[in-house]
Structures are given as structure tokens and as C-alpha cells.
């Protein structure tokens, strides 16, 4: 398959609320009635623009024809987080690959993608006869109405590997070409998070106990760790799981959020906090602020909603929290967790209140608002769309939850996303493969393997340690891991990633490492979910 970003597509289809048509080509433009799609080639990249008046446009679909050799395997990205399902695969014409995909055989690799922060949700499909790019320009699940506005949809990038460059090395360099301005933390980020042993059952006193343990395990390290208070502190957290707004104060177990941050700092640990920015449990919130899809969440296309979120960020950082992990952003906007892209493309019947904006624009407005009111705090995006958040977050929780209850789940979610999204580490943001959940339910000899892998990956390391189960042996292992994570000078390369979803063989800073992830009797159950 030849380079595509040096030539306009062979065909462009237009999907509106009323019809689907093949657009007419006129030079570097395709037109149908009031809709016009323009292509501009600049420096080995191709810009795609859309302009229209009153048409309710749902999708612009680009097609390049050209034969593939059958020997290639293909790796796509995830729409938001990985769900243990990232993998290399052969031809599958129905496979939907968000944002970018790689094609590779034993000798050569190719990359097809769009640069980060496009104004459309972008999905690739590949078959033996060519490549298709779906540009989802809907407003929610209904066609966008641009009112004459010219919109930059995406910048297409297509590259081939250099001589001697492995598929993993190419994946890293290709992702770098998709992001010109990653937002990276000034110092390596690592520490502890209370979720994977407490699961919402915590208090001011227990957080201080966690903080004391973390301070002990990192004593003497110049780069200080973060202790992240996860879902448990919000006003309604005692009656409602993963509660969002209001977040003007803590609940009865967390009577003084500002005071707690001060006490954590006094122990020489940096305080972090979890929020759910879009969900609202406020009885008297204006109906115009609520999403037409669900009254339980706010609509980020409404300027007043963004102003409320800005106030929340000002408040929690004003309390003294130096890291903010924000969560449920994709779920609350689109109504689900998306382990694959097809349900997004199939949504119908709802829109944001501002019909002139695409979904991608509304999502980016949310991320930008949080970033602009972070006041220098480290931002972790959890359940956010990484391709739209790059440049607005320091860390991306790149996979679904690991576990303090099931090591199978930790392997399937944590190991999978670490191996297959390492190419985004330091190119889009710092890649966070989630926590080592340390409880009595997972044998330490199992968790220790994941701890070692994370610590030696050069990525952020977070543990979720139940203080009562930590033995002296575990303390020594954790101290060693934290010391390594406080520097993050390592490089991790999966060696068998083309043959499995949970690689076992790695190069860790040049040293060969091998791990056995599945137990003697296989998985504990038929599924890790």
C-alpha cells in the first residue's frame, strides 16, 4: 500500500441525517450541495478541511485504493483506554482502529494516523484493497451544523520505517510524529493511590496512615512521591459510588480537605486528589446545563458548565492538592465505557446543546478548561480520550482498572496496555498502566512481577497498598521499586508483542527479562473482567 497523505483520496463519501452520497471531485476538493471537503498537502502531511452551511453532517469517509501484501499484521489504537484487547492481527476488513494503525511484517513497518487533537473522531479500516478513514463530525450522535464555518478536521500522517528500525522503534517514532507538543511532567511521577485496597472505604485518618507508609518506603529519595486520594472523599461518596459534583467540601470522614493536604505535605509527601468533573447530583442545577443524553451529567458544550468545572479545579488545587486525577469523562459524555469503537459510531438520537460543535471539539473544550485551571498541578486523565487529551494532561491512565482482588485482571489490563501503548509514553504524555493492588487476596509473588515490570518500564509507578498486609519483605521490594520509579531512566521493549496480548519477554534497559503471567491452572476464571 503506497503513501496516502501525498495524494487526495480516490473517493469521499458524505453522510448526513438525510442521505449518503459520493461527493464530486474538483481538483483537491470534493463537493456536494453546501458541503465542501478540501485537502492540502504540507511537508509530508495532508490537512483535511470541511465547510458547510445547514447540512446536518454526520461522517466524512475517505477512501484510498491500493493492494496490500497479505503478509502484514495490523495494530490499532484504542478509542479511549485499552481494555486488555490491544493486539496485532491479520486482515479484518470490519476491524475499526481509532486514531492510528500500524502495519508490519518481519522487515518493514508503515503507520497511518491523524495528529493529536483533531476536530473529528477518527477511525481507520483496512482491507486487502485499500484504506478507509472515517471522520466522525457529529455533534454527539446527530449531524453537526457548521453554519458556514470552515473546520480543520484532521492532519493525516503516513510514514514508513527506516532501515533497521524494529516495529516497536517505529511505533515510538510514528507516535512522536503525531504529537508536536506533549505535556510532560517536570519530574518523574510515582507514588500511591488508595483505591485498589480501600475501594471507596477510607477516611482522613486512613489517608494519613497511607501517607506515613509511603513516606517510610520512599525515605531519602529526593524526588518526592504523590499520595492520591481516590473516590471516597466527596460530599456524596458515602451514599453514591463514584460521586461527582458537588465537590465544595469533603464528607463526614473527610471534614477538612485543606487541612488534610497540609498534613500530607508535613510528612514530605505530595497530596493528590480524584474528581469526576461532569456528573452532577445537584438538585437545583439549571436544566440548560444538563446533557440532553442524560440529566445526571453536565454538557461541556455549554460555556457556563465549563465555568463551573473551572471553579471546581480552582477549589481543589486551592486546597493544596498538587495532582488531580479526573475520571469518567468519556463515560459521562457518551454514556458508556468503550472497549471497542463500534458502539460510538452506531449512536443515534442525541446531541450536545451547541449543535455547531463536533464531539471532538466539545471533548477538547473540557480537557482544555481543566488544564487551564490546574494551577501547575499534575493532571492524570482517566477514562479520557488520549488522542484528544495529548497536550492537556501529563499522564494518561492508558488501560482499564487493574485490581487488588484479581491478578488475572491486573495482567490483562495492566500488562496489555503497558506493552501496546508504550509507544505513546513520552510522545503523547507519560503513560500510566495503573496500580499494583496489594491486598491479602493476591499472593505477593504474583504482584511482585507486575511491580518489577512497572518499576523497570520508565513509566509512572503507583501502588495501592493495604498497610496491614505489608511485610518486611514487601517493604524492601517496594523501596527498591520506588527508588527506580523516582528516576524513571529505564526503557522497556516488549519482544513477543506480535504473538500475544500479554507479552512475557522484554528488554528492560538492555537486559532480557521473562515473566510468566498465567498460573499453573490457567486463568482463575473464564474471564478477567
Distance CA 382, CA 406 (A): 20
Residues 152 and 253 in one domain: no
User: What CA–CA distance (Å, rounded) separates 264 from 209?
Assistant: 10
- What is the CB-side half-sphere exposure of residue 2 using CA atoms within 13 A? 8
Backbone angles phi, psi at 344, to 5 degrees: -65, -45
Domain CATH for 479: 3.20.20.70
Indicate if 173 and 199 belong to the same structural domain. no
pLDDT at 391: 98
Residue 520's pLDDT is 85
Burial profile 356-395: b = 16 or more Cβ within 10 angstroms, e = fewer: ebbbbbbbbbbbbbbbebbeebbbbbbbbbbbbbbbbbbb
Same domain for 195 and 172:
no
Predicted pLDDT of residue 163 = 84
Beta bridge partners of 37: 30, 50
**C-alpha grid cell for residue 371?**
488544564
Question: CB–CB of 61/46 below 8 Å?
Answer: no
Mean pLDDT confidence for 131-158 = 97
Which backbone phi and psi does 115 adopt, to 5 degrees? Answer: -65, 155
Domain termination site, one of 178, 211, 245: 178
Question: pLDDT at position 7, please?
Answer: 87
Whole-angstrom distance, CA of residue 53 vs CA of residue 32: 12
* Backbone dihedral angles phi then psi of residue 156, each to the nearest 5 degrees: -90, 135
Sheet holding 130-136, edge to edge: 20-22, 11-16, 57-65, 130-136, 121-127, 97-98
- Indicate whether 297 and 151 sit together in one domain: no
Domain residues for the domain of 265 are 190-488
Residue 475 scores a pLDDT above 70: yes
Do 354 and 211 fall into the same domain? yes
Half-sphere exposure of 386 (CA within 13 A, CB side): 34
Q: What is the mean pLDDT of residues 240-256?
A: 96
Q: Is the peptide bond before 23 cis (omega within 30 degrees of 0)?
A: no
Query: What's the Cα-to-Cα distance from 336 to each of 200, 383, 443, rounded to whole Å?
Result: 21, 10, 32
* 527 part of a folded domain: no
Decide if 223 contacts 187 (C-beta within 8 A). Answer: yes
Q: What is the mean pLDDT of residues 459-477?
A: 97
**Residues 31, 365, 379, CA angle at the centre, nearest 5°?**
135
Centroid of chain to Cα 1: 29
Enumerate residues 6+ apart whose C-beta is below 8 A from 511: none
Residues contacting residue 510 through CB under 8 Å, at least 6 positions apart: none
Does pLDDT of 344 surpass 90?
yes
Q: Is the pLDDT assigned to residue 217 strictly greater than 70?
A: yes
Same domain, 145 and 197: no
Residue 527, pLDDT above cutoff 90: no
Is the model's pLDDT at 453 over the cut of 80?
yes
Q: Assess if residue 427 is contained within a domain.
A: yes
Number of structural domains the chain divides into: 2
In a domain, 4, yes or no: no
Query: Within a domain: residue 322?
Result: yes
Tens digit of each residue's pLDDT (9 = 90 or more) over 271-310: 999 999 999 999 899 999 999 999 999 999 999 999 999 9
Structural domain includes residue 524: no
Residues 6+ apart with CB under 8 A from 15: 57, 58, 59, 60, 61
pLDDT of residue 315: 98
Question: What H or E segment, with its residue span, contains residue 168?
Answer: helix 167-178
Q: Helix, strand, coil shares of the chain as percentages rounded to 5?
A: 25, 30, 45
List helix spans (H) across 268-415. 303-318, 329-334, 342-346, 359-372, 386-389, 407-409
How far is residue 198 from each of residues 232, 403, 468, measured CA to CA in Å?
Answer: 9, 11, 12
Q: Is there a single domain that holds both residue 144 and residue 281?
A: no
Q: CA distances (Å), 499 to each of 74, 126, 226, 494, in order?
A: 12, 20, 36, 11
Can you give 260-300 as a three-state secondary structure string? HHHHHHHCCCEEEEEECCCEECCCCCCHHHECCCCCCEECC
In-domain check, residue 448: yes
Rounded alpha-carbon distances, angstroms, from residue 392 to 87, 140, 163, 247, 325: 27, 22, 34, 22, 13
251 and 373 part of one domain: yes
Residues 211 and 130 in one domain: no
Mean of per-residue pLDDT scores for the chain? 96
CB contact at 8 A, 192 and 214: yes
* 374-390 residue pLDDT tens: 999 999 999 999 999 99
What pLDDT is stored for residue 1 in this prediction? 63
- Evaluate whether residue 286 is within a structural domain: yes
pLDDT over 70 percentage in the chain? 99
Whether 528 has a pLDDT exceeding 80, the answer reads no
User: In the chain, what is the straight-line distance between the N-terminal and C-terminal CA atoms, in Å?
Assistant: 37
pLDDT interval class at 2 (50, 70, 90): low
**3-class SS at 301?**
coil
pLDDT digits (tens, 9 = 90+) for 3-23: 677 789 999 999 999 999 999
Return the half-sphere exposure (C-beta side, CA atoms, 13 A cut-off) of residue 103.
25
Mean pLDDT to the nearest integer, 162-181: 95
Asked whether the whole model's pTM tops 0.95, one would answer yes
- C-alpha 45, offset from chain centre: 24
d(C-alpha 344, C-alpha 329), whole Å = 15
Is residue 129 over pLDDT 70?
yes
Residue 71: the pLDDT is 85
124 and 169 part of one domain: yes
Report residue 477: phi and psi, to 5°. -65, -40
Residues 502-508, mean pLDDT to the nearest whole number? 98
| 173/252 same-domain check | no
Cell numbers 477516611: residue: 203
Tell me the HSE value of 383 on the side-chain side, using a 13 A CA sphere: 20
Three-state secondary-structure class, residue 343: helix
What residues form DSSP beta bridges with 151? Answer: 50
Domain's final residue, options 178, 213, 246: 178
Q: Is 520 helix (H, G, I), strand (E, B) or coil?
A: coil
Q: Based on the domain organization, do 168 and 200 belong to the same domain?
A: no
Q: What is the predicted pLDDT for the residue at 519?
A: 85
Q: Would you say residue 5 lies in a domain?
A: no
Given a cut of 90, whether residue 28 has pLDDT beyond it is no
Residue linked to cell 520506588: 482
Mean pLDDT lowest for which of 24-28, 82-86, 391-395? 24-28
Amino acid at each position: 500500500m503506497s503513501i496516502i497523505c501525498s495524494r487526495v483520496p480516490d473517493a469521499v463519501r458524505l453522510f448526513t441525517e438525510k442521505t449518503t452520497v459520493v461527493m464530486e471531485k474538483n481538483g483537491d476538493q470534493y463537493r456536494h450541495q453546501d458541503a465542501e471537503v478540501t485537502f492540502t498537502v504540507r511537508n509530508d502531511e495532508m490537512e483535511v478541511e470541511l465547510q458547510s452551511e445547514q447540512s446536518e453532517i454526520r461522517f466524512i469517509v475517505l477512501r484510498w485504493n491500493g493492494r496490500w501484501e497479505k503478509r502484514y499484521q495490523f495494530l490499532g489504537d484504542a478509542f479511549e483506554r485499552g481494555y486488555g484487547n490491544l493486539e496485532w492481527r491479520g486482515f479484518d476488513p470490519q476491524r475499526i482502529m481509532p486514531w492510528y494503525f500500524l502495519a508490519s511484517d518481519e522487515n518493514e513497518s508503515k503507520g497511518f494516523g491523524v495528529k493529536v487533537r483533531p476536530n473529528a473522531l477518527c477511525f481507520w479500516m483496512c482491507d486487502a484493497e485499500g484504506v478507509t478513514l472515517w471522520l466522525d463530525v457529529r455533534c454527539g450522535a446527530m449531524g453537526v451544523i457548521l453554519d458556514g464555518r470552515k473546520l480543520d478536521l484532521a492532519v493525516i500522517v503516513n510514514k514508513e520505517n527506516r532501515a533497521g528500525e524494529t516495529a516497536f522503534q517505529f511505533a515510538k517514532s510514528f507516535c512522536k510524529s503525531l504529537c508536536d507538543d506533549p505535556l510532560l511532567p517536570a519530574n518523574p511521577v510515582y507514588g500511591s493511590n488508595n483505591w485498589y485496597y480501600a475501594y471507596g472505604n477510607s477516611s482522613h485518618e486512613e489517608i494519613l496512615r497511607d501517607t506515613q507508609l509511603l513516606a517510610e518506603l520512599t525515605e531519602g529519595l529526593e524526588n518526592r512521591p504523590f499520595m492520591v486520594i481516590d473516590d471516597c472523599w466527596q460530599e456524596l461518596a458515602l451514599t453514591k459510588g463514584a460521586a461527582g459534583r458537588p465537590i465544595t467540601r469533603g464528607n463526614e470522614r473527610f471534614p477538612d480537605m485543606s487541612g488534610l493536604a497540609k498534613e500530607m505535605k508535613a510528612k514530605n509527601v505530595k497530596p493528590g486528589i480524584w474528581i469526576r468533573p461532569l456528573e452532577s447530583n445537584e438538585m437545583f442545577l439549571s436544566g440548560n446545563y444538563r446533557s440532553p443524553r442524560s440529566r445526571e451529567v453536565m454538557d461541556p458544550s455549554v460555556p457556563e458548565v465549563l465555568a463551573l468545572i473551572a471553579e471546581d479545579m480552582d477549589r481543589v488545587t486551592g486546597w493544596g492538592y498538587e495532582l488531580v486525577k479526573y475520571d469518567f469523562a468519556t463515560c459521562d459524555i457518551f454514556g458508556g465505557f468503550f472497549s471497542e469503537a463500534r458502539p460510538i459510531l452506531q449512536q443515534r438520537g442525541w446531541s450536545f446543546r451547541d449543535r455547531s460543535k463536533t464531539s471532538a471539539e466539545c471533548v477538547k473544550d473540557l480537557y482544555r478548561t481543566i488544564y487551564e485551571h490546574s494551577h501547575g498541578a499534575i493532571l492524570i486523565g482517566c477514562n479520557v480520550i488520549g488522542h484528544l487529551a495529548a497536550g492537556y494532561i501529563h499522564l494518561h491512565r492508558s488501560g482499564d482498572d487493574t485490581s487488588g482482588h484479581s491478578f488475572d485482571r491486573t495482567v490483562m489490563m495492566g500488562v496489555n496496555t503497558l506493552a501496546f501503548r508504550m509507544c505513546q509514553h513520552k510522545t503523547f504524555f507519560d503513560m500510566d498502566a495503573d496500580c499494583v493492588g496489594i491486598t491479602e487476596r493476591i499472593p505477593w509473588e504474583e504482584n511482585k512481577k507486575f511491580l518489577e515490570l512497572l518499576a523497570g518500564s520508565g513509566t509512572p509507578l503507583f501502588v495501592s497498598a493495604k498497610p496491614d498486609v505489608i511485610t518486611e519483605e514487601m517493604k524492601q521490594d517496594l523501596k527498591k521499586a520506588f527508588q527506580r520509579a523516582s528516576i524513571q531512566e529505564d526503557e522497556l521493549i516488549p519482544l513477543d508483542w506480535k504473538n500475544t496480548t500479554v507479552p512475557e519477554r522484554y528488554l528492560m534497559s538492555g537486559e532480557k527479562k521473562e515473566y510468566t503471567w498465567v498460573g499453573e491452572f490457567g486463568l482463575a476464571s473464564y474471564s478477567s473482567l
